[in-house]
Structure 1
Amino acid sequence: MGRRYFSLPDVGEGLTEAEVLEWLVAPGDRVAVNQPVVEVETAKSAVELPCPFAGVVSALLVEQGSVVAVGTPLIAVDEEGDGDGEPSDDAPMLVGHGSRERPPARRRRRKPPGDAPAPR
């Protein structure tokens, strides 16, 4: 069995911390990939965070009501096989993981014919 740690991801919009509102699991619970395990609140919203791996919860590392920085380990999960605590390359992408190489393309607005301003 390997122990893996799930840390508070960057939940977006440059936020650097979040408050742990409620744990949705307890030590000894079995979790599946993408199962919500904790609800956190940032300055902008409250969200449920899914676990990126499956296994048995071995420890909740942060108490409810605590404000923690992005990157702080939240939960420890024991999984079968060889785990080194780091997400594997085939782990599903979660909110805030990875980076966008370029901004999304915007479509140009087309003016319908006949909406052109009248010449002066």
Structure 2
Amino acid sequence: MPDFLLPDLGEGLDEAEIIAWRVQAGDHVTVDQVIAEVETAKAVVELPVPYAGVVTALHAEPGSAVSVGQPLITVTADDPATGFREPGVVVPGQAAAVAAEGAGG
């Protein structure tokens, strides 16, 4: 169950305020699905999640500030046997599963 941490949103900004959640605990998410809208000192940004699975916890309330590197949500994998795969990241032991998916099987 990985936590999705607030990423560095650029230009030396070290925190963002949660404006709205687009998901809640129990929702199924897919890779790159927008999960939250956050506001920095410079812009409002939609955050996509890098995991697929079920949201098990939201770690901040709307209106609260979250620092870069703090957890935003926790996601449980759809299929714990394959774990999580981030696009463009190959994890040893998952390469065969990725190749099989690409081959249709």
Fold conserved between structures, TM > 0.5:
yes
Larger radius of gyration: 1
The residue aligned with 2:101 is none
2-structure distance, mates of 1:69, 1:59: 17
Alignment TM-score, normalising by the size of structure 1: 0.67
Amino acid at match of 1:62: A
Deviation of 1:4 (Å): 1.4
Measured in 1, the distance between the counterparts of 2:46 and 2:87 equals 16
CA–CA distance in 1 between the matches of 2:12 and 2:70?
16
Which residue of structure 1 aligns with residue 40 of structure 2?
42
C-alpha deviation, 1:92, in angstroms: 3.1
Specify the alignment match of 1:25 in structure 2.
23
Identity %: 55
After TM superposition, the runs of 4+ consecutive aligned structure 1 residues lying more than 4 A away are: none
Q: Distance in 2 between matches of 1:81 and 1:6?
A: 17
Higher helix proportion (structure 1 or 2) = 2
Separation in 2 of the partners of 1:70 and 1:59? Answer: 18
Gaps of 5+ in 1: 94-120
TM-score for the superposition, normalised by structure 2 = 0.76
Q: In structure 2, give the amino acid aligned to 1:38.
A: A
Corresponding position of 2:87 = 92
Aligned residues: CA RMSD:
1.5
The aligned residue for residue 81 of structure 1 is: 80
Using the alignment, how far apart are the partners of 1:15 and 1:47 within structure 2?
13
Query: Do residues 67 (structure 1) and 65 (structure 2) align?
Result: yes
Aligned residues: 86
- Counterpart of 1:46 in structure 2: which amino acid? V
